[in-house]
Structure formats: structure tokens, C-alpha cells
Structure 1
């Protein structure tokens, strides 16, 4: 595969003259920037299996080799071509992407725990066989050119903890089978064309700490069941049309550091207990129909750095001491 991609291992890191499954491939070496490309093997009774493959930010272009789908002992595949931190330092991203579709054969990699294919140019519909990877803990597909809806079979990934889908191209409604994904901790699903209402069952994802649902085509209201998500530290929802939403569901989310509910047709007042959200660094409730006065306790949030309340129907006065209380803004 490396030959097809025009890449070779670093000579002082890997045994490139003989058996790849030797040296750093089978010792306690971990995946770091110095080991890229990276191979990890497990050898028993004279038989070696590749269990981890890392191909990161190496300017690889073209389809994923079919041989990859025969590595059925893989538990970790990291094939992001551009790291999130380097997106803004790279100009000609079009020359750095893996292309083509994901074949049904990906369902053969049933030992997979970490699958990261984000920031490429993969296309086509996601194969339903991805639902066979029931050991998955992390699935990253963001920033690609996929099409179609999310397969209902992804609801089989009961161990999944992190799901990254931002800007991946998917459309349609969130499948009802996703109600099974109760171990999710992080969900990024912004800038796609997800439609319909945000499902009530997401309120049962009680382990969630981060949820991003910005820039889709959802319809309101925001489910009241979200009040169960008291472990959230980051909640971002925006551009919800129709259906008036309330802010009652946020009252007990006192662990939040980021709360962005921009342009969601919210018709309510700011919760009176907002002053108890002492960890808040960013609050954006702009472009809604929020009424009433701004609670005075909001101006006691000493950690707050960004506050956006514009384009609402708020009234009353702003305390003159705002500059001394919101010291980090």
C-alpha cells in the first residue's frame, strides 16, 4: 500500500529491508508524529497480523487500496490527510485528499476500534456494512463528500463513544436506530443537510459532554428531553426552522462552558438561574425571539469571554458595572 501511495517508512524507524513486523512494529512504541506512516503488528505462533495503520498528513492522493480491507485484524486505522490544526495553514487542499468510495468490504474489519477517515475527499453513500464494526469506539468521517443518508445499521455500534460527521455531506433524518448509541460522549454533526426534528431519544444519551448540531436543516422545537443532558460541557445548535423552542431544557446544564443556540426560533426568556453557570466562557443566544430582561446574575459570570444576545426582543437596562464584573470579555 505504501508503494502505491508513493510513501516509504523512515529508515531509522522501521525495518524496511526485511520483515516489517519487527522492531518498532511490535515493541511498546506508540503512535506519535515521529512514527508516520505507522504500522503495529501482533505476532503469535509465527503468524503476524497488522493491527494499527497510521497515514497522517502525507499529501496522499487517490483511492484507498483494496488491500486495506483484507487487514481484518485492524483495530486502529488513522488515515486523515490533513490535521485539524493545519487546515488553515494549507492552501491547496484539493491535492491532498483520498478519493473514491468506501466499499462494503469495510465491514470485514470487525476488530476495528478507531476509524478516522476525516478531512479527505471520499464520496458516495456510506456502506451499511459499517454497522458490522461493533467494537468501534471512535468513528471520524468529517470533511468529506459523502452523499445520501446515514445508514440505520450504524445503530449497531453500541460501544461508540465519539462520532465526528461535520461537513461530511450526509443528508436526511437521523435514523431511529441511533437511539441505541447510549455510550456517546462526543458528537459533531454540523454543516450537513440533516432534516426533520432533532430526535427526542438524544435526551437519553446521558453520557454526552459535547454536542454540535449547527448548520443543518432541522425543524423545531428543540426537544425538551435535552434537559436530561446534565453532563454537557459544550452545546451548539443553530439554524433550526419552524417550531418555537423554549430555553427550559438548559436550566440544569450547569457544567456548560460553551452554549450556542443561535437562530433557533427560541421564544422564551433567559433562564433566571443563568448566574449559576459559572463555567460559561461563551454564550450565544442571538437571532431568536427571546424576550424580557437580561438577568442581573448573568453579569456575574466572571469566566465569560464571549456574549452574543443581538437580534432578540430583550428590554430593560444593562448594569453600569458590566465592565468590572465581566472582566474576561
Structure 2
């Protein structure tokens, strides 16, 4: 018995279960129970509710290496803990609705990182009977809560901290939010909230941090939204619907706050650089991403914020001009000016940079030869899609923290640095679409940490180093196409990199057979070996390429790096980047492949493009080609295929590009479904024994009249049939309409015959008169 025990601290004691015997211990005087950071696997024990004197209960972060934690719903008996001031269940697996708790003395409530669902109306109703609610901190972030925020949120007048991010809340922010006069932090980021932001936010005079990122806001932010926010230090707002929220603040408006952090994304701020922001000279973190700003950045403002600036993101705008040469930002560690119209030499702003992203601009000149000294801590160097020229300096290999090097699509020439193998952490090397020459560096090996290697569309030659296949076991994407590489690749592709999802070696001088080892790539989505000198048969083990059979996506999302690939699909060369993960393609065209198309290829149900054209393939088109139900492009042209076109081809309802020309195919062209839309006869050209639509050649044994004549004949027959039916119906209706009436109505029958007699007399009289007149003339 421990009747006098007031506090029990068991945090970090590696407890795996709560002993049942503890229920029998008299600890009803306990004020503090702390068993956080353990490894307990259990629902919340209902006997906790017997500890009616508790002031603080902390069960947070109860997880171990296996992810075990408190689970299940909160027992309603917890409402008996009426003296609780602090309740922390964060980092567990609690679920269900949050019940009404009636904890009027509660100051801190932390349910972050659980699985609670439903709304919070029940939770808030528990405070409705409190004469003087004292709740100061409410953290329900990272759950599965939904529904609209209730107006009753505004009754918690003492709230200072509200964090509801990473949930599924919908609807608008309630107008009652303006009643939280003590609120210092409001975080509603990453929900499904919509509609205009209420201007009652401008009444929160104590507000310091406002986070509204990652919702679907609309409407306009005006001066009234910020009228009394004199303590505001950071604001972060974005919308998933581009430009649906307009930040409309007049040029003359002087903000009442002094910001240190501003983040605005996908909202309309431009076209001019905002005047109100130029008055914020203490900024350390600035994000104005995709805001419609054009023109130049005010040089005076840049120089004022340069000393304290740490993070700068102005990407996806239309900003032009050059950065001031005298601009130095000693504390800057992240700069992103990508997708703008900046020009001039590369700005060298800070020796503390870890991310240097200037992609898709018009920067020119060389990469500094001493870049390792100018930016020694660099982790990400993004200079793609500019007009940089010169060589890649060898000193770049001294950047030992470098993980991403993206120099794609510039005017760089010369050899790639030989010392690249010393990079210990490099994940991505993309130097495609330049004028690099020489051999691929291999004397010192290839970095084994590589995930993405793109050296495509240069003038590189020699053999592809075997160490790529041997050492780069984490390789996910390889593009060496558009070069002059030579050598036999029979035993290499796929030999030791099972995670490959993208392989593009097209337009080289490679030779050898396509090895069965290629089938050991279960995640492969895109294979392009076209325009080489590969020979031999197509492997029959293709059904082992699981991704092309089952259709799951294997593309990896790399921070700030957008993978780009130029692929020939649907008869055209297309550039893919953000949609690359949707592509499923095999292109083996323009080689010297022989033998038959293996029937096993029809197991690749998820395949979208199959191009085997311009080879020496023989035999029939696989009978089950119709199994490839997602196929959009099929090109088997310029081979020696024979036999009939399988009828199953007509079941390819997604097919939009077909080319079977210049083979030895024979017989009737299948019809129906999608094939009816492919009316260009050139797709069957060069097959002399093919017949039927869309070709003009008729198959032997067809009827002498055309299908059109037959249709017209059928239409004529139908017209005659309806003519006779109409005559019969007309006669029947007319006969019974007259005669039937005479039979039924006796008075009508007498009147009818009298009328007939009168008409007969008049006719006879007229005839007699005419005869008499005629006789007189004679």
C-alpha cells in the first residue's frame, strides 16, 4: 500500500506491460503518473480512471522497434479524472471518436499522432459546462479527424496553442475563431479546408504564428485580416488550387507586424513584388512560390534582409534580371530561384549553402573552378536548364556532402571528372543533354551509392564501365542513351541492381544478346534499348517482370529533383517528368533481334507501349496479344512476321497507335472496337496478302456487292415494307371509320343514302343538260 505516493515517474524504463497487480495497490493519492517512452502493448487500462486525484497523466511515445503502443478507444471512465490539468497521449495508436471528457481543470491536451477519427464536437462539448474553462493548449495533429470545425471552438477563451494539422478537417474556418483572444499559435495546415478565410482572424491580437498551409482556400486576403495582428512573426499559407486565393493588400498599407517568416505558395500576390513585404526587413525565411510575381526583385530590400536571411524560395514565378553582385548572405543555407527568368553569372551568395537551386533560368558563364571552397557544405546543386558553359570543374568532386548533382540541358563540354567515385553520399548525377565527350570515368570506379545516373544525349564513347552493374546495387534509374557507347552487353543489364525501374540505352552502338538476367528486374517499368546492334532472340522470361504484370508504380520521389526522360511513345518523341511514374514501356526497335515474339510477352498486362519494329523477327503475332488490355502503342513494323493478325487485337480498347506495316501478314484484317478508329491504311502497308478495311483489297470469297450496297438494299426493303403496312392500316381505318358508323347509327345511314340519291340525281341532270347542248350544236 502506497497511500501517500504523489508522483510516479517510470519514463524510459523499457516497460513492456503494466502488471495486473498494480490495480490492487492503493495509489489513489497519486498526482503525477509518467510512463512515457516505454514499449507497452496494451489498450488503455480503464482502472486509470480510479486515480481520481491525478493532475498529470503522460503516456506519450509508447513505441519500440516493433511499433507497439497504447491502442483502442479512450474509456469513457476517464471523464472521472476531473482534476486533470495535463493529459498527454501523443505518439500512440488510439482510435475511435474522442469522447466527451468534462475535464474543466484541463490546461494541456495532447493527442497528437494517434488514429482518432470523426469530429471534435463531442470533445468540445465537454467544456461547455465549465464556468471558467482553463484549456490553454490543444494538439490534435496527425490523426484522422474530419468534419467541419464547430463554432464552439471559439468558447475556449484561454486557448493559446491550437494545432490541428495533418487531419481531414473540411469546410471553412468558423467566424468564432476571432473570439480566441489569447491565441498565440494557430496551425490548420494539411487538411481539406476550403472557402474564404474569415477576417475575424484580424482580431487575434496575441497571435504570433499562423499556419494555413496545404488547404484549398479561396477568396481574398485584405488589410482587415491583419488589422490587429501586432505580434505576428510568421505566416504560412498555401492552396492546392493555384491562384484561388488572392493576397490583395494596397500599396499604401503599412503592416502592423514585424515578420521573421513568410510563406505564400500557389496564391496570387503579383504581378509586382509586394510593397508590404518590402517593409519587412527582419525576415530570415522567405517563401513566395508560384505567386505570379514578375519583374525584378527590389535590390534595396534584398540588401536589407541579406544579413539575417537563412531560407529563400522564389521559385515558379516570372522574376527576371540579375542579383546584385555585392549581395552576400552569410547565414543563407537554402536558396531556390528555379523556374524564373534570371540571367547573368551564377550568384555566389553564401559559404553555408546546402541547397543551391537555380534550375530553369537563363544563367550563363562557367561553374566556378573553386566551387568546393565557395560552397563547401553543399548537398544539392541544381543548375539544369540554363545556359552554363565550360567544363565541369574537378573540384566539384571535393564536395563530400553532395547528394544531388543536376546539370542537365546546358552547354557544358569536356570530360566528366574522373574523381567522382570519391563522393561518399551521392544519390543523383544528371548531366544529360550537354556536349560532354570522352569516355565515362571508370579508372577510380563508380560511386556505389548512386540511385539515379543520367549521362544521356552527350558525345560520350567507349564502353560502359562494368562497375555500374557490379557496384551500384541501389541503382533505380539509368539513362545513357544518345551517346556513342560500344561493347557487348550480354551479361550485364540487370545483373546486380534489382531495384532498377528505368533503363534507357537507346541510340548507341551496343551489341550482344538481351540476357535473361533482364528478367530479374521485378520493378522495371521502362526499358528502351532501341537503335543499337543487339541480336538474338527476345527473352522468354519476361513474365518475371512483376511491375509490368501487376501494374504497380516504382518511381521514387526525390526532394527537389524532378526526373526527366525523353521517350518515343505513340509514334512521337515526348518528354516526361512529373508523369513518368505512369509510363510502362518496352522499346527494342531498330536492332537485329531474331526469332519469334515470345508468347510470354502477353503476360505483361500493365504494358502501355510495345515497340519491336525494325528487327528481323519472324513467326506469328502472339495469339493472346489481346491480353495487353492497357496497351496504347503497338509497333511491329519492318519485320518478317507472317500469318494472320489475331482477332484478339480488336479487344485492345486503349490502342491509339498501331503499325504492322512491311511484314508478311496475310488474311482479313480484324474489325471492331478500337480498331475501327484506326483508319489509316498505311499501318498495314507492305503486307501484300492482307485484305479488307481500311485497305481497298477485298478478301477472296466476299459477296460481289459492297457492304454499302447491302446496307442500301436493306434500307430499300425496309422502306417498301413500311409502305405496304401503311396502306393496309390506312384502308382499314378509313373503311371502318365510314362503314362502321353507318352500321351503328340508323339515322346516319338514312341520311347517307338520301345524300347519295341527291348527288346521283344532280349528276344525271348535269349529264342530260350537257348532252342536249352538244346535240344543238350539231
TM range (shorter): 0.7 to 0.9
- Tell me the residue number matched to 1:248: 599
- Tell me the residue number matched to 1:54: 382
- Tell me the residue number matched to 1:162: 477
Greater relative CO (CA pairs within 8 A, separation 6+): 1
In the alignment, which of 121, 132, 137 is matched to residue 451 of structure 2?
Answer: 137
- Tell me the residue number matched to 2:590: 239
1:284-299 matches, within 5 Å, as 284-299=635-650
Which range moves more in the overlay, 281-290 or 238-247?
Answer: 238-247
Q: Is the 8 A contact 1:305 1:328 kept in 2?
A: no
CA–CA separation in structure 2 for the residues paired with 1:309 and 1:272: 15
Provide the aligned C-alpha RMSD in A.
2.9
1:1-20 matches, within 5 Å, as 17-19=327-329
In the alignment, which of 196, 199, 202 is matched to residue 515 of structure 2?
Answer: 199
CA–CA separation in structure 1 for the residues paired with 2:547 and 2:651: 22
Tell me whether 1:314 sits opposite 2:634 in the alignment: no
CA–CA separation in structure 1 for the residues paired with 2:674 and 2:596: 31
Deviation at 1:138, TM superposition (A): 0.7
**Aligned CA distance change for structure 1 residues 132 and 167 (closer, same or farther; 3 Å):** closer
CA–CA separation in structure 2 for the residues paired with 1:225 and 1:319: 29
**Aligned CA distance change for structure 1 residues 324 and 139 (closer, same or farther; 3 Å):** closer
Q: Is the 8 A contact 1:152 1:176 kept in 2?
A: no
TM-score by length of 2: 0.36
Give unpaired runs (5+ residues) of structure 1: 1-9, 83-96
- Tell me the residue number matched to 1:282: 633
Q: Is the 8 A contact 1:247 1:270 kept in 2?
A: no
CA–CA separation in structure 2 for the residues paired with 1:194 and 1:137: 23
Q: Which has the larger radius of gyration?
A: 2
Deviation at 1:268, TM superposition (A): 2.2
1:1-329 matches, within 5 Å, as 17-19=327-329, 22=332, 24-25=334-335, 32-34=338-340, 41=354, 49-82=377-410, 97-128=411-442, 131-155=445-469, 156-174=471-489, 176-178=491-493, 179-232=495-548, 233-241=584-592, 243-319=594-670, 321=672, 325-326=676-677
Q: Is the 8 A contact 1:116 1:138 kept in 2?
A: yes
Counterpart secondary structure, 1:123: strand
Counterpart secondary structure, 2:600: helix
Question: Deviation digits for residues 174-223 of structure 1, max 9, x if unmatched?
Answer: 27454001110001110000011122211111210100010001111122
CA–CA separation in structure 2 for the residues paired with 1:159 and 1:328: 46
**Aligned CA distance change for structure 1 residues 20 and 284 (closer, same or farther; 3 Å):** farther
TM-score by length of 1: 0.81
CA–CA separation in structure 1 for the residues paired with 2:341 and 2:679: 40
Q: Is the 8 A contact 1:258 1:283 kept in 2?
A: yes
CA–CA separation in structure 2 for the residues paired with 1:130 and 1:290: 47
CA–CA separation in structure 1 for the residues paired with 2:531 and 2:414: 26
Q: Is the 8 A contact 1:168 1:192 kept in 2?
A: yes
Aligned residues: 298
- Tell me the residue number matched to 1:91: none
**Aligned CA distance change for structure 1 residues 20 and 148 (closer, same or farther; 3 Å):** farther
Question: Deviation digits for residues 268-295 of structure 1, max 9, x if unmatched?
Answer: 2122222221211100011112122111
Deviation at 1:55, TM superposition (A): 1.1
Counterpart secondary structure, 2:378: strand
Give unpaired runs (5+ residues) of structure 2: 1-296, 303-311, 314-322, 356-374, 549-583, 681-778
CA–CA separation in structure 2 for the residues paired with 1:183 and 1:132: 17
